[in-house]
Structure 1
Amino acid sequence: MKPERPEDGVVDLVDVVLRDGAIVRADAIITVADVPLVGLKLSAALAGMDTMTEYGLFEAWDTRQRQRHRNEFD
């Protein structure tokens, strides 16, 4: 019997990331001849807009978008 790979694995992963969110952080130092020249500190948040606003991210953007859409339909 061959093991089966579930077809909805990617869908489940995207669902979890959008619902719960994910934070990706990376630090890198660029060096030349053992001399550190540039330091990078990167941080990214990935989540659905409901999750982002629940955690206080993009609140101003969300408010502006909702107001703009209300004005279009008035």
Structure 2
Amino acid sequence: MKPTKDDTHAIVELLDVLLREGAVIQADVVVTVADIPLIGISLRAAIAGMTTMTEYGLFNEWDATHRER
């Protein structure tokens, strides 16, 4: 049996879904030294295409400003 190569690429499909549907990534990080918490960091990132972002009410002002140019 010969190996076959699929015509679709996983990374392209992943990017397509991210831009079309979007994703929210959230992380909480605590930096400790000798079991003593020093810094707490809360991170949140929204990844999506501009069309998806504006549908959810994000970056509306920015989008309108840049479309006027």
TM-score category of the 2 structures, normalised to the smaller one: 0.7 to 0.9
- Let me know the Cα RMSD of the aligned residues: 1.4
Partner residue in 2 for 1:31: 32
Cα distance, 1:10 vs structure 2: 1.4
Identity, in percent, stands at 56
1:2/1:65 CA distance change after superposition, 3 Å: same
Gaps of 5+ in 2: none
Normalised by the length of structure 1, the TM-score is 0.82
1:26/1:2 CA distance change after superposition, 3 Å: farther
Gaps of 5+ in 1: 69-74
Partner residue in 1 for 2:64: 63
Write out per-residue CA displacement over residues 3-47 of structure 1, whole angstroms, 9 at most, x where no aligned residue. 545342211111111000011110010001111000000000000
Matched, 1:54 2:61: no
- Structure 1 or 2: more helix by fraction: 1
